[in-house]
């Protein structure tokens, strides 16, 4: 197969508010060094009340799409475990507010943190089939955490969206079609059983993640036996990051298959091959299905020692579970294409919250869940950060119908 298929652009929206983990640790009585060094989390994103998974999805995509892109998109998939309606898909709002071509298949998929990769692979297969006739696909992963005050896992919560434009004109990475291994097994690790609850067994989830990585990689080796020379076959390695420290555990698990290394040697290998992918993730907290795409941008933006044509491994895991290990190649001009997302600038532009302010925002959001009629209150931050910028915002509910508008 000679057709090139891959990622042309990636847009990231990290919200406009942030919480420093050092501040949260001080209030909760936790050692900040553990969060910084072991968990590899420095900050997390927080949404104001007028942002939700719909607005994040649209705001992530609008910054990268041209009018030509909008006209050529004929497949739109939104991946989310933070769905705002039990029936109506987020993808319909995204299609409307982005002004995407109406001759467009659109739907929402849910498979925990694997959903974005599922959408990417579906889009790549459609484009590779040649039946797209030059059209493009837009995959958006968008999620936000629920409130977990005082829980041990509160530190790994977050919010954000990544919009991925997939086409036969890749500019960031080209997918190596067919070089993919996947593995699935039913496991009840993490769950969102109601509109207000996000819970589960974190230890079960961590064990399931490593087991899924191991089996997906074995499947990849069956199809790509030359990858048994892991060290030279891949130049960099990206893993799904429920929190940054999990990527060190994942990388160490794979390394043990090939080499016997001390912990210090493993750490050095990880810092060279994977750590750059956490450049933005450790400032956003948990980004669910978007994490591998944000990790890819972080790596391309901040890592100078990877060249066009070299391989990057990508691993995606979603609770429940399904996993996929696949291979991509860096494109010529990838750094220039990735820089268009301006993720670092956007992260720096967020407003830092105190722990009390963060608790107030999340408590207010929790009170409004399942309410059918309300108007979202605004404050001075809306005037400062939104009125002068064209962002989609959530107005509230009217007789159970969600209301949106552009801020400027």
Q: How would you label 62-77 residue by residue, b for 16+ Cβ within 10 Å and e otherwise?
A: bbbbeeebbebbbbbb
Q: Is the peptide bond before 165 cis (omega within 30 degrees of 0)?
A: no
Three-state secondary structure call for residue 225: helix
Which CATH homologous superfamily contains domain 6-406?
A: Thiolase/Chalcone synthase (3.40.47.10)
For the question of residue 240 being annotated catalytic, the response is: yes
The catalytic residue among 25, 51, 108, 113 is 113
pLDDT beneath 70: ranges in the chain: 1-2
**pLDDT tens, 374-400?**
999 999 999 999 998 999 999 999 999
In sequence order, what are the beta bridge partners of 45? 18
What are 355's two structure tokens?
């722990």
The catalytic residue among 8, 111, 240, 251 is 240
The catalytic residue among 81, 174, 324, 362 is 81
For the question of residue 113 being annotated catalytic, the response is: yes
Three-state secondary structure call for residue 157: coil
Q: What pLDDT is recorded for position 2?
A: 67
Q: Can you say whether residue 240 is alpha, beta or left, with left for phi > 0 and alpha for psi between -120 and 50 degrees?
A: beta
Q: What pLDDT is recorded for position 260?
A: 87
Segments making up each domain of the chain, as ranges: 6-406
Q: What is the phi/psi pair of residue 373, to 5°? A: -140, 115
State the Cα–Cα distance between residues 16 and 284, nearest whole angstrom: 11
Q: What pLDDT is recorded for position 259?
A: 84
Q: What pLDDT is recorded for position 28?
A: 96
What are 93's two structure tokens?
């709002």
**pLDDT tens, 233-286?**
999 999 999 999 999 999 999 999 888 889 899 999 999 999 999 999 999 999
State the Cα–Cα distance between residues 15 and 57, nearest whole angstrom: 11
For the question of residue 43 being annotated catalytic, the response is: no
Q: Report the greatest alpha carbon distance in the chain.
A: 62
């Amino acid at each position: 197969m000679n057709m090139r298929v891959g990622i042309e652009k990636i847009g990231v929206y990290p919200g406009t508010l942030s919480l420093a983990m050092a501040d949260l640790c001080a209030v909760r009585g936790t050692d900040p060094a553990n969060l910084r060094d072991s968990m590899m989390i420095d900050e997390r994103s927080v949404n104001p009340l007028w942002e939700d998974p719909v607005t994040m999805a649209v705001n992530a995509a609008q910054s990268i799409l041209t009018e030509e892109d909008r006209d050529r998109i004929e497949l739109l998939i939104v991946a989310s475990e933070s769905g705002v309606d039990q029936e109506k898909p987020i993808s319909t709002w995204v299609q409307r507010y982005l002004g995407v071509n109406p001759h467009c298949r659109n739907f929402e998929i849910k498979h925990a943190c694997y959903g974005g990769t599922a959408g990417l692979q579906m889009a790549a297969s459609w484009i590779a089939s040649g039946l797209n006739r030059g059209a493009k696909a837009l995959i958006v992963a968008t999620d936000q955490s629920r409130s977990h005050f005082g829980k041990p896992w509160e530190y790994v919560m977050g919010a954000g969206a990544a919009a991925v434009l997939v086409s036969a004109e890749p500019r960031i990475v080209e997918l190596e079609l067919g070089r993919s291994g996947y593995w699935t097994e039913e496991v009840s690790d993490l769950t969102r059983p109601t509109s207000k609850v996000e819970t589960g067994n974190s230890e079960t989830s961590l064990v399931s993640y490593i087991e899924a990585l191991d089996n997906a990689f074995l499947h990849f080796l069956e199809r790509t036996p030359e990858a048994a020379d892991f060290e030279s076959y891949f130049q960099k390695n990206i893993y799904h990051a429920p929190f940054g420290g999990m990527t060190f555990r994942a990388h160490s698990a794979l390394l043990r298959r090939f080499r016997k290394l001390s912990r210090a040697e493993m750490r050095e290998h990880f810092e060279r091959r994977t750590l750059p992918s956490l450049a933005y993730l450790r400032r956003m907290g948990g980004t669910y299905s978007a994490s591998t795409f944000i990790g890819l941008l972080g790596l391309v933006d901040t890592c100078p020692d990877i060249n066009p044509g070299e391989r990057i491994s990508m691993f995606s895991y979603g609770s429940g579970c399904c996993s996929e290990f696949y291979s991509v190649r860096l494109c010529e001009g990838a750094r220039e294409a990735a820089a268009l997302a301006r993720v670092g600038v956007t992260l720096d532009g967020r407003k830092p919250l105190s722990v009390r302010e963060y608790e107030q925002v999340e408590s207010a959001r929790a009170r409004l869940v399942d309410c059918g009629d309300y108007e979202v209150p605004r404050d001075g931050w809306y005037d400062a950060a939104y009125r002068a910028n064209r962002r989609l915002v959530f107005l509230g509910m009217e007789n159970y119908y969600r209301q949106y508008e552009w801020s400027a």
